[in-house]
Amino acid sequence: MRIAIYSRGIEHNQQKDIELLLTELIKHGAEPVFYQDFFNKFYSSVNLEGKYSTFNSSIDMDSSIDCLISLGGDGTLLDTVTLVKDTGIPVLGVNYGRLGFLANIGKDEINSAIEALVERKYVLDKRTLLHIESDVPLFGDVPYALNEFTLHKSDTSPMIKIHTYLNGEFLNTYWADGLIVSTPTGSTGYSLSCNGPVVFPDSASFVITPVSPHNLNIRPIIVPDNTIVSFEVEGRTDNFICSMDSRRELVPKEIQLAVKKENFGLNLIRLNENNFLQTLRNKLSWGLDKRN
């Protein structure tokens, strides 16, 4: 079994965690394949024995890779979307960060997680991706996102007007700093911080959430995920920011934009005992009120 390992980097106090991960992989007969940049950062400070394979980009993610482990927080796991693309390679998130809605496997669960991987005793959650279409090329060969698509004013410019349409029919004009279209996965991200609702991963919907709207009667709205959401932007500046997860581009306001459900999704590995409700309770401290 070949398991790819991706991370942006590790802290000094996480070296023992890497050694533990390698020990467990080798003990179970799995071959680790490290992301090259990550390997270069830690190989001299971690006790390694033998030679290890590496990969550099999505081109190396072929059918020989059984799964990918993301070491870090949710931002690190979002990076893996651009690596696995439409290969269907499942992704397991190990939380070396803070909150960890997506990377919800704790460092203390490494032993059981690797055993579950090798014995294939896990559940695959297929997460919806958002696809962007525009009249000029955007985001290269990865025009999709796991969490959200965002339109936002640039820097300190005044608010923008975002004319929004659902399947070609006018919905609303948002006078705001920006607008978020999130997947159910992204409903616990940027959208949540802008007072958007929490949506279950299998709810087959998108959430449209304004960022600091000027009209107080404007609220987030949930639409079916077979909806094409399109936009026209007005503002006093010539450009605005368009983002897909953590990737962003500065685009002219004359651009034509639309988002829809991507034709493929991301296979997120979930251990059998974990589920979305448990994640909500753990990460948001629900149910801990002493009056319950």
- 22-53 pLDDT, tens per residue? 888 888 888 999 999 888 877 766 666 667 88
Residue 290 pLDDT exceeds 70:
no
Range with the lowest mean pLDDT among 84-98, 139-153, 182-196, 201-215? Answer: 84-98
Rounded to two decimals, the pTM is 0.91
- CA–CA dist 152, 176 (Å, integer): 9
- Residue 225 appears among annotated catalytic residues: no
Span 2-128+265-284: which CATH code? 3.40.50.10330
Residue 267 pLDDT exceeds 90:
yes
Residue spans in the chain of domains classed CATH 3.40.50.10330: 2-128+265-284
Cα-trace Rg, the chain: 20
Query: 3-class DSSP state for residue 170?
Result: strand
Q: Could you say which of 17, 74, 177, 245 is catalytic? A: 74
- Residue 82 in contact with residue 245, Cβ under 8 Å? no
Please report which confidence band the pLDDT of residue 276 belongs to, taking 50, 70 and 90 as the band edges: confident
Span 130-261: which CATH code? 2.60.200.30
Residues 6+ away with beta carbon under 8 Å from 119: none
Residue 292 pLDDT exceeds 90:
no
Query: 3-class DSSP state for residue 45?
Result: coil
Looking at residue 281, its pLDDT comes to: 83
Residue spans in the chain of domains classed CATH 2.60.200.30: 130-261
Tell me which H or E stretch contains 22: helix 15-27
Query: 3-class DSSP state for residue 71?
Result: strand
Looking at residue 95, its pLDDT comes to: 86
Closest Cα partner for 107 from 79, 77, 67, 73? 73
Tens-place pLDDT, residues 155-203: 777 899 999 999 999 999 999 999 999 999 999 999 999 999 999 999 9
